[in-house]
C-alpha cells in the first residue's frame, strides 16, 4: 500500500501535468478512508518549491448538474480565503464545512458576494494555485459521466491542476450500459424495422437489438475516449485487509471485554469477510457494531455462554450482514426460517432430497461454516436484528434458552458436551466423571443412535491414547448393545455423512467400520419403520380425508416406494369405498408418478402386483357399473406400470 501512496505522490511532485489520475476500487473497500488518512495528509505535509499544497475534496454522490460541482468547489475554496471562517474551522479541527451547514444557505449572500445583482458563477471564484482536486463517487453522480469528465478536463488540461478521481469502474460500466435502456430499446427496434432487418432470421432478435443499441448509444466507447485523454494513470486500490481490519478493531479499545474477544478471533473475522466475496469494509464495520450489541446483551443476560457459541454468533452476524446488505439475496430467504432446527432441516432437505428451492441456504452454510463445526448455526434474534434493526428481546431469550438447555456447556449432559466442545477443552478434573456418565447413557440406550456412533469414535481414540480404562473389545460390546436399545427410541438419520463429519478425529480406526456397519443396518430398519408409519398415516386418509391424502402423497410419496409398506387388501378396501372421481385421481397420480420416478419406486412393485391381484379377484363376475368400469381401467393401468419392470423384482 505504501507503494501506491508513493506513486500518487510522484504525480503531485511532477512539475507539469496535463492529466488526472484515477483510483479504482470496489464500493466500501475503503477508498475514501485511504484518501483521508493516507493521501490527503501526505499531500498537505509536502512542501515543493517553497509552496504547500491544499487539497479540495468533493463527493459527486447525487450531483444532478454541473453547476452543483462549481458550488461545491466554491464552498470548499472560499472557506480558505475567509480569515474568520478559516479560524473557526481550525478551532474545530475541520477541513470541510459540514454538509448540514451548507443545506438551505444561499452561499453567495452568506459570503456577501454579488455580481451586478445577478446569480454568481461559482467557478469564477475558484483559485487554481497550489490546489489538488479530489473527485469521489464518480459512478454515483446523477449527471452524465461524459459531461462530468469533460468538465474536469477543463481544470486538468487548461489549468494543469493536480486532480485525483476516485471511482468504482465496474459499477460505472454497468451504469453506462443500463441507463435509459427502455428508450434505447425502443429506438433500436424502430430503426431495425425501418431498415427491414427486424423480421430477418439470420440472428436472434435480442442480439440484433443489443448490437443496434451499442452502435447508436455507445457511451462506453465515449467514456474510454475521454478517459484516454483525461486520465494518465489508473491505480487499482486493493488493500491489505488484515491491516485494515486490525485498524477497525482499534475503535473498540475502550471496551476491554469486546476488544479481547475480537482480537482473539481476528482470523475468524477476516476469513468470514473473505468468504463474503466482497471487499466492502463498510458492511463489515456495521456488522461489528451490531455484534458489539449482541456480545453485550449475551454477556449481560447469559454470562456463562461458551466461547464456541460466541464465535458462531460472530460468524453468523458478519455472514448475514453481507448476504443482506451487499444485495446478494432478498431478505425473505432467511425471514421464514424460525429457528436453528428448521435451518438444519432445510440443509437436510437440500442435500438428501436435492431440493433446489433450498439450494441457497446450503451454499450459505457450506461457505461461511466451512471447516467450522458448530451444532447451533442459525440465530433468529440476530437475523431479525440485522434485517429489521430491531433487537427483539422475546426472540433473543427464546434462542438463548434453547442454546442453554441443549447446546451450552454448563447445562449439557456429558455426551452432548463431548460432541459439541473440543474434547481437549474439557478440564482433567471433569473428564473421568463425563466418561462414566456417557457409558451409563450408552448402556441404557438413552442417546440418539447416530450420536452413539460419534461417541464411539471418541472412545476408541481415548482407548488407544490410554485416556480411559476400556479396551476396544469391551467398548464394542457396550456400544453394540447400547445401539440396539437406542434403535428402539431413535429416529432415522438422513444426513449421515454430515453428522459423521462433525467428529473431531482426523482418522477412524479399523474397529469403527464394524460400528458403522451395525449402525447402517439399524438405520435402514429405522427408515423402514418410518415409511411404514408414514404409509399407515397417509393411506388412512382414504376415503374420508381425500384432500389431506393428496397433499401428503404429493409432498412425501412421489419418490418413495410407499406401497411397499402398506397392506394391499386394506388399501384396496379403502380405494373401493372412495368416490369415482377420487379413484380416477388416484389412478392418474400413480401413472404420472411411475412415469417420472420409475427407478425410485421400483421397490414397491411386488406389493403393487398384489394390489392388482386383489383388485382383479374383486372384479370377477361383478355386474358392470361406472365404478366397476373405473376399477377395471385402474387394474389395466397398474398392469402397464408393472410391465415396465422385470418379473424377478415381483418375487420379494
**Which of these three, 376, 411, 446, is where a domain ends?**
411
CATH number at residue 93: 3.40.50
Q: Are 616 and 575 in contact (CB under 8 A)?
A: no
Task: List helix spans (H) across 254-392.
Answer: 256-264, 266-275, 281-301, 307-325, 332-335, 340-352, 359-368, 380-388
Distance CA(452)–CA(444), nearest Å, equals 11
**Which of these three, 411, 446, 473, is where a domain ends?**
411
318, 404: one domain = yes
Q: Are 146 and 222 in contact (CB under 8 A)?
A: yes
Residue 93 lies in a domain: yes
Q: How confident is the model at residue 330 (pLDDT cuts 50, 70, 90)?
A: low
Residue 239 lies in a domain: no
Residue in the block written with cell 468538465? 151
Q: Note down the domain range covering 341.
A: 247-411
Quick: pLDDT tens for 126-177: 445 578 899 998 888 888 888 888 888 888 887 788 899 999 887 776 666 5
**Which of these three, 411, 440, 471, is where a domain ends?**
411
Q: How confident is the model at residue 438 (pLDDT cuts 50, 70, 90)?
A: very high
Q: How confident is the model at residue 291 (pLDDT cuts 50, 70, 90)?
A: very high
Q: How confident is the model at residue 452 (pLDDT cuts 50, 70, 90)?
A: very high
Quick: pLDDT tens for 367-379: 999 888 887 899 9
Please state the three-class secondary structure of 540-595 as a single string: CCCCCCHHHHHHHHHHHHCCCCHHHHCCHHHHHHHHHCCCHHHHHHHHHHHHHHHH
571, 485: one domain = no
Residue 101 pLDDT greater than 50, yes or no: no
Quick: pLDDT tens for 263-273: 889 889 989 98
359, 302: one domain = yes
Residue 113 pLDDT greater than 60, yes or no: no
Sheet holding 131-136, edge to edge: 54-59, 131-136, 162-167, 20-24, 231-236
Q: With a threshold of 0.85, does the pTM exceed it?
A: no
Q: What is the pLDDT of residue 117?
A: 47
Residue 375 lies in a domain: yes
Quick: pLDDT tens for 498-556: 888 778 776 778 889 999 999 999 999 999 999 999 999 999 999 999 999 999 999 99
The shares of helix, strand and coil residues in the chain, as percent rounded to the nearest 5, are 65, 5, 30
Residue 347 pLDDT greater than 90, yes or no: no
Q: How confident is the model at residue 641 (pLDDT cuts 50, 70, 90)?
A: very high
Residue 535 lies in a domain: no
Q: Of 338-352, 435-449, 505-519, where does the model show the most confidence?
A: 435-449
Residue 180 lies in a domain: no
Residue 403 lies in a domain: yes
275, 394: one domain = yes
Which letter does DSSP use for residue 39 in this model?
I
Q: Are 287 and 258 in contact (CB under 8 A)?
A: no
Three-state SS at 190: helix
Residue 615 pLDDT greater than 90, yes or no: yes
Residue 493 lies in a domain: yes
21-35, 140-154, 211-225, 380-394: range with lowest mean pLDDT = 211-225
476, 348: one domain = no
318, 451: one domain = no
405, 448: one domain = no
Q: How confident is the model at residue 94 (pLDDT cuts 50, 70, 90)?
A: low
Q: What is the pLDDT of residue 153?
A: 87
Residue 370 lies in a domain: yes
- Structurally, the chain folds into a number of domains equal to 4
85-89, 198-202, 253-257, 326-330: range with lowest mean pLDDT = 85-89
296, 364: one domain = yes
Amino acid at each position: 500500500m505504501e507503494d501506491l501512496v508513493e506513486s500518487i505522490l510522484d504525480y503531485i511532485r511532477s512539475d507539469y501535468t496535463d492529466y488526472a489520475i484515477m483510483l479504482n476500487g470496489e464500493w466500501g473497500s475503503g477508498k475514501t478512508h485511504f484518501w483521508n488518512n493516507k493521501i490527503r495528509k501526505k499531500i498537505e505535509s509536502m512542501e515543493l518549491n517553497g509552496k504547500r499544497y491544499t487539497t479540495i475534496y468533493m463527493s459527486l454522490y447525487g450531483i444532478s448538474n454541473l453547476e452543483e460541482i462549481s458550488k461545491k468547489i466554491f464552498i470548499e475554496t472560499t472557506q480558505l480565503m475567509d480569515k474568520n471562517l478559516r479560524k473557526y474551522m481550525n478551532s474545530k479541527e475541520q477541513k470541510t464545512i459540514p454538509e448540514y451547514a451548507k443545506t438551505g444557505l444561499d452561499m453567495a449572500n452568506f459570503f456577501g458576494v454579488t455580481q451586478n445583482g445577478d446569480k454568481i458563477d461559482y467557478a469564477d471564484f475558484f483559485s487554481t494555485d497550489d490546489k489538488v482536486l479530489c473527485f469521489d463517487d464518480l459512478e454515483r453522480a446523477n449527471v452524465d459521466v461524459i459531461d462530468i469528465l469533460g468538465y474536469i478536463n477543463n481544470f486538468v488540461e487548461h489549468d494543469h491542476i493536480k486532480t485525483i478521481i476516485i471511482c468504482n469502474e465496474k459499477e460505472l460500466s454497468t451504469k453506462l450500459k443500463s441507463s435509459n435502456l427502455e428508450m434505447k430499446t425502443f429506438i433500436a427496434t424502430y430503426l431495425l424495422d425501418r431498415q427491414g432487418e427486424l423480421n430477418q432470421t439470420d440472428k436472434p432478435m435480442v442480439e440484433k437489438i443489443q448490437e443496434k443499441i451499442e452502435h447508436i448509444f455507445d457511451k462506453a466507447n465515449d467514456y474510454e475516449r475521454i478517459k484516454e485523454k483525461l486520465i494518465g494513470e489508473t491505480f487499482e486500490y486493493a488493500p491489505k485487509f488484515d491491516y485494515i481490519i486490525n485498524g477497525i478493531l482499534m475503535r473498540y479499545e475502550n471496551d476491554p471485554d469486546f476488544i479481547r474477544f475480537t482480537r482473539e478471533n481476528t482470523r475468524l473475522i477476516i476469513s468470514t469477510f473473505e468468504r463474503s466475496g466482497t471487499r466492502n469494509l463498510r458492511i463489515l464495520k456495521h456488522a461489528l457494531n451490531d455484534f458489539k450489541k449482541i456480545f453485550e446483551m449475551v454477556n449481560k443476560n447469559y454470562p456463562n455462554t461458551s466461547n464456541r457459541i460466541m464465535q458462531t454468533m460472530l460468524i453468523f452476524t458478519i455472514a448475514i450482514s453481507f448476504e443482506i446488505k451487499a444485495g446478494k439475496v432478498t431478505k425473505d430467504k432467511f425471514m421464514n426460517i424460525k429457528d436453528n432446527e428448521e435451518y438444519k432441516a432445510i440443509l437436510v432437505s437440500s442435500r438428501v432430497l436435492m431440493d433446489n428451492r433450498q439450494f441457497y441456504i446450503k451454499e450459505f452454510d457450506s461457505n461461511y461454516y466451512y471447516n467450522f463445526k458448530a451444532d447451533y448455526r442459525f440465530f433468529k434474534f440476530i437475523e431479525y436484528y440485522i434485517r429489521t434493526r430491531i433487537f427483539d428481546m422475546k426472540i433473543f431469550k427464546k434462542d438463548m434458552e434453547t442454546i442453554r438447555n441443549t447446546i451450552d456447556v454448563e447445562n449439557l449432559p456429558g455426551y452432548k458436551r463431548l460432541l459439541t466442545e473440543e474434547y481437549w477443552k474439557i478440564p482433567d478434573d471433569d473428564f473421568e466423571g463425563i466418561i462414566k456418565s456417557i457409558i451409563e447413557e450408552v448402556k441404557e440406550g438413552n442417546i440418539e443412535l447416530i450420536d452413539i456412533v460419534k461417541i464411539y469414535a471418541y472412545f476408541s481414540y481415548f482407548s488407544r491414547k490410554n485416556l480411559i480404562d476400556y479396551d476396544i473389545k469391551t467398548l464394542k460390546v457396550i456400544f453394540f448393545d447400547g445401539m440396539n436399545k437406542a434403535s428402539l427410541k431413535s429416529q432415522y438419520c438422513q444426513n449421515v455423512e454430515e453428522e459423521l463429519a462433525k467428529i473431531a478425529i482426523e482418522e477412524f480406526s479399523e474397529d469403527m467400520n464394524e460400528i458403522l456397519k451395525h449402525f447402517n443396518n439399524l438405520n435402514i430398519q429405522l427408515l423402514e419403520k418410518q415409511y411404514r408409519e408414514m404409509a399407515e398415516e397417509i393411506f388412512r386418509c382414504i376415503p374420508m380425508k381425500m384432500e389431506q391424502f393428496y397433499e401428503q402423497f404429493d409432498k412425501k410419496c412421489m419418490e418413495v416406494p410407499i406401497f411397499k409398506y402398506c397392506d394391499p387388501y386394506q388399501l384396496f378396501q379403502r380405494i373401493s369405498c372412495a368416490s369415482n372421481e377420487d379413484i380416477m385421481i388416484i389412478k392418474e397420480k400413480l401413472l404420472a408418478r411411475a412415469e417420472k420416478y420409475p427407478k425410485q419406486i421400483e421397490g414397491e412393485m411386488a406389493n403393487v402386483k398384489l394390489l392388482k391381484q386383489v383388485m382383479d379377484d374383486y372384479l370377477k363376475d361383478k355386474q358392470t357399473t361406472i365404478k366397476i368400469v373405473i376399477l377395471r381401467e385402474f387394474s389395466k393401468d397398474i398392469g402397464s406400470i408393472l410391465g415396465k419392470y422385470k418379473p424377478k423384482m415381483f418375487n420379494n
